């Protein structure tokens, strides 16, 4: 009898737990939506923090140049070698320029740039905002009637939206040069054919796709990283204090990286 009585209670607990978690996810998504709205509104509020924008662009953009340069060079060279190996089998080495440039401009450039920036600058932004939250610095801003979005978050948004597409462009150029180095200088593909193939196959539409992707990825990573930091105290299971900031920073990088990959597929499917 006792067991029968307990059965519905445990089922109720499980169903209640699932519902509770679903509500938490909905609330979290809603909060992130409102966060995005206020961050975008903050871009148009005055006074505009020009110095902060330059500082953030220096950090997100200029600071990432080295890592972007080496990632681009290495992936471009690998693409050159791999492309040469595959195309050589069909005697189509002349297509190498076209294969390398299209892959870089439409896929690898935007995706790898976003992943690198998420790992380098996104994690730092999340930790910075998270620490400001737990040490009551964000509360202090609100108490001084200073809008934390305009003051703190929106400059990071704008800096990412400017820097990430520029870094992507740099990635594309360095990557193509890497492909040229490996394919033409090392494997002996005809240099003229490399660039002619690229010129013939890359259209404006392909470049636009790359640019749109880089804007969307920039928005995703800055939104998720700053948003996770902002809500650090409301994230379930994150714990408290320094531990919560470290956990949430890891979470922010993971979520933004996965979102970039998911949106990469969606954008390619819709826009290609």
d(CA 66, CA 229): 26
- Minimum Å gap between C-beta 70 and another protein is 29
Count the residues of the shown chain that bind another protein, applying the rule CB under 8 A.
16
Give the per-residue contact string, 103-122, with another protein (x = CB under 8 A; - = no).
--------------------
- Is the peptide bond prior to 47 cis by the omega test (within 30 degrees of 0)? yes
Nearer CB in complex with another protein: 128/172: 128
Using CB under 8 A as the binding rule, whether residue 269 contacts another protein is answered as no
- Minimum Å gap between C-beta 247 and another protein is 20
Residue closest to 228 by CA, chosen among 94, 128, 88 = 128
Question: What does residue 190 show for φ and ψ, rounded to 5 degrees?
Answer: -65, 125
How far, in whole angstroms, is CA 117 from its chain's centroid? 6
Nearer CB in complex with another protein: 128/264: 128
Q: Specify the stretch interacting with another protein by CB under 8 A; choose among 82-90, 135-143, 159-167, 220-228.
A: 135-143
Using CB under 8 A as the binding rule, whether residue 135 contacts another protein is answered as yes
For residues 258, 259, 262 and 266, what is the CA-based torsion angle, rounded to 10 degrees? -170
Using CB under 8 A as the binding rule, whether residue 4 contacts another protein is answered as no
Using CB under 8 A as the binding rule, whether residue 26 contacts another protein is answered as no
Q: Specify the stretch interacting with another protein by CB under 8 A; choose among 105-113, 131-139, 167-175, 259-267.
A: 131-139
Using CB under 8 A as the binding rule, whether residue 9 contacts another protein is answered as no
Q: Specify the stretch interacting with another protein by CB under 8 A; choose among 102-110, 137-145, 189-197, 250-258.
A: 137-145
d(CA 240, CA 226): 18
Q: Specify the stretch interacting with another protein by CB under 8 A; choose among 114-122, 127-135, 159-167, 223-231.
A: 127-135
Report whether 218 contacts 263 (CB < 8 A). no
Residue closest to 219 by CA, chosen among 172, 179, 160, 165 = 160
Nearer CB in complex with another protein: 107/147: 147
For residues 164, 166, 167 and 169, what is the CA-based torsion angle, rounded to 10 degrees? 130
Using CB under 8 A as the binding rule, whether residue 186 contacts another protein is answered as no
Q: Which residues contact 186 (CB under 8 A, 6 or more apart)?
A: 80, 81
Q: Which residues bind another protein (CB under 8 A)?
A: 20, 47, 131-132, 135-137, 139-140, 142-147, 151
């Amino acid at each position: 009898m006792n067991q029968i009585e307990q059965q519905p209670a445990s089922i109720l607990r499980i169903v209640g737990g699932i519902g509770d978690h679903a509500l938490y996810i909905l609330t979290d998504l809603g909060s992130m939506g409102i966060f995005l709205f206020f961050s975008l509104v903050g871009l148009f509020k005055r006074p505009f923090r020009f110095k902060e924008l330059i500082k953030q662009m220096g950090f997100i953009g200029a600071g990432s140049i080295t890592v972007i340069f080496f990632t681009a060079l290495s992936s471009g060279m690998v693409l050159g070698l791999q492309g040469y190996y595959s195309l050589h089998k069909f005697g189509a080495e002349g297509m190498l320029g076209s294969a390398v440039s299209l892959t870089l401009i439409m896929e690898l450039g935007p995706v790898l740039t976003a992943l690198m920036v998420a790992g380098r600058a996104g994690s730092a932004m999340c930790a910075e905002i998270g620490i400001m939250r737990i040490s009551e610095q964000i509360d202090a801003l609100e108490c001084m009637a200073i809008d934390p979005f305009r003051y703190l978050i929106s400059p990071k948004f704008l800096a990412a939206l400017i820097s990430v597409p520029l870094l992507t462009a740099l990635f594309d150029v360095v990557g193509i040069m890497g492909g040229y180095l490996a394919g033409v200088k090392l494997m002996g593909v005809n240099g003229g054919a490399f660039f002619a193939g690229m010129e013939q196959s890359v259209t404006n539409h392909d470049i636009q796709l790359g640019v749109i992707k880089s804007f969307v990825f920039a928005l995703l990573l800055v939104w998720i990283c700053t948003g996770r930091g902002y809500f650090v105290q409301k994230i379930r299971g994150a714990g408290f204090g320094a531990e919560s900031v470290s956990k949430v920073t890891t979470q922010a990088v993971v979520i933004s990286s996965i979102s970039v990959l998911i949106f990469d597929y969606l954008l390619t499917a819709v826009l290609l």
